[in-house]
Amino acid sequence: MRNICVAQILKHMQALTNRAQQVERKPMTLMERAYLPAIFRGMAITFGHMFKKRPTINYPEVTRPFSPVFRGLHILNRDEEGRENCTACGLCAVACPAEAITMEAAERIEGEEKLYREEKYAAKYEINMLRCIFCGLCEEACPKDAIYLSETFAPANFQRKGFIYGKEDLLIPHPITEPEAHAKAKGGRVTIK
């Protein structure tokens, strides 16, 4: 019955795709009923798979390279003298569609000129990595080149509060006191413990 239906439909209707096929319900041939040849063919297929290239990589030891424009964990930038760029203007927090960024501004007092580039700085700067969607709009909004997205992602954590990254997690290492760590964070992959 079903075969006839399919045949009639195919005859009277214009098929939209060329994928419609009539189902064959012929009785099996002796070769097919013998079952063993089909098994041998199947076994040849599985055996052939032993020599295929495996797509899996040994993850923690080997990692796939990220694209250079990968948007990963945020980094708060310092200038070449090691002063923080951020002035706590709040443009990044405004730009953030996920409302992941909060900050508190403070005024630079005398003697802190080597720490902060401008007269106002972020006393507290927090990004909730569980809210963040890594869109990069904060990076675009920043007028001071203070925040950018690096080439790594937030590592797993057992607690929610572990995902709220403060200044100590986000700030790039000091370029003069820790030049190697700074260079590493600046270019190439960044690993954050």
Partner 1 sequence: MLLSIGLSLVIEKFVLIVVVVMSSLVIAMYATFAERKVAAIMQDRRGPNRAGPFGLLQPLADGLKLFFKEEIIPSLSSKFLFILGPCLAMLTAMMTGAVIPWGDKVHFFGRDISLQIADVNIGILYVFGVVSLGVYGIMIGSWASNNKFSLMGGLRAASQIISYELAMGIALIALLMTTGTLSLKEIVQQQQEHWYSWNIVKQPLGFLIFLICAFAECNRTPFDLPEAENELIGGYHTEYSSIKLGFFLFVEYINMFLSSAVMVSLFFGGYDIPFINDASLAEKIGTNWVALIHAAVFLFKAACFLFLFMWVRWTIPRFRYDQLMNLGWKILIPLALFNMLVTGAFILLQQNNWHF
Residues that bind partner 1 (CB under 8 A): 39, 42-43, 45-47, 49-50, 52-56, 58
Say if residues 189 and 151 touch (Cβ distance below 8 Å).
yes
Least distance (Å) between residue 47 CB and partner 1: 7
How far is it, in rounded angstroms, from Cα 188 to Cα 66?
A: 9
- Are the C-beta atoms of residues 77 and 186 closer than 8 Å to each other? no
Sign of the C-alpha dihedral computed for residues 176, 179, 181 and 183 taken in this order: positive
Distance from C-alpha of 149 to C-alpha of 49, rounded to nearest angstrom? 41
Residue 34 CB, shortest distance to partner 1, in Å, is 10
Q: Would you say 46 or 177 has its CB closer to partner 1?
A: 46
Residue 148 amino acid letter: Y
Shortest approach of partner 1 to residue 189 CB, angstroms?
A: 24
Token pair in block for residue 30: 């002796």
Instruction: Tell me how far, at minimum, the Cβ of 42 lies from partner 1, in Å.
Output: 5
How far apart CA 29 and CA 72 sit, in angstroms, is 59
Min dist CB 57 to partner 1, Å, is 9
Amino acid at 153: F
Q: Closer CB to partner 1, residue 8 or residue 63?
A: 63
